[in-house]
Amino acid sequence: MAFVVPKETYSGKIYEVTIGKGDKAVTVGGENTLPFLTFEGEVPNRPAIAYEIQDIAPDDWPATVANVYKEVSSNPVTWAKFCQDTLGAKAIALRLIGTHPDRGDASPEAAAKVVADVLAAISVPLIILGSNHIEKDGPVLKAAAEAAKDSGAVLGKAQQENYKTIVAAAAANNLRLVCMSQLDVNLAKQLNILTTQMGFDKEKILMDPMSSALGYGIEYTYSVMERIRLAALQTNDPMMQTPMIADIGANVWKAKETAADIAEWGDVAQRGITWEATTGVSMLLAGAELLVMRHPEAVAVVERTIDELMQ
d(C-alpha 189, C-alpha 247), whole Å: 19
Is residue 209's pLDDT more than 90? yes
CA 202 to chain centre: 17
Residue 167 CB partners (closer than 8 Å, separation 6+) = 158, 177, 195, 198, 200
Within a domain: 55: yes
pLDDT of 6: 87
**Domain CATH for 60:** 3.20.20.20
Q: Say what the alpha-carbon torsion angle 297, 90, 46, 156 is, to the nearest 10 degrees.
A: 100
With a pLDDT cut of 70, the percent of the chain lying above it is 100
CA neighbor of 13 nearest in space, from 37, 43, 46, 39: 43
Global pTM? Answer: 0.96
84-105 pLDDT, tens digit per residue, is 999 999 999 999 999 999 999 9
pLDDT of 58: 97
d(C-alpha 173, C-alpha 149), whole Å: 5
Please provide residue 23's backbone torsions phi and psi, each rounded to the nearest 5 degrees.
-75, -10
Within a domain: 213: yes
- Domain extent for 210: 40-310
Within a domain: 45: yes
Is residue 294's pLDDT more than 90? yes
134-180 pLDDT, tens digit per residue, is 999 999 999 999 999 999 999 999 999 999 999 999 999 999 999 99
Please provide residue 260's backbone torsions phi and psi, each rounded to the nearest 5 degrees.
-75, 120
DSSP string, 106-126: --HHHHHHHHHHHHHH--S-E
121-131 pLDDT, tens digit per residue, is 999 999 999 99
Whether the ω angle into residue 157 lies within 30 degrees of 0, i.e. cis, is: yes
- 176-205 core/surface letters (b: 16 or more CB in 10 A; e: else): bbbbbbebebebbbebbebbbeeebebbbb
Within a domain: 5: no
pLDDT of 286: 97
Within a domain: 254: yes
Within a domain: 29: no
d(C-alpha 53, C-alpha 50), whole Å: 9
Is residue 4's pLDDT more than 90? no
33-44 pLDDT, tens digit per residue, is 999 999 999 999
Within a domain: 26: no
Could you give the number of structural domains in the chain?
A: 1
Within a domain: 189: yes
pLDDT of 5: 83
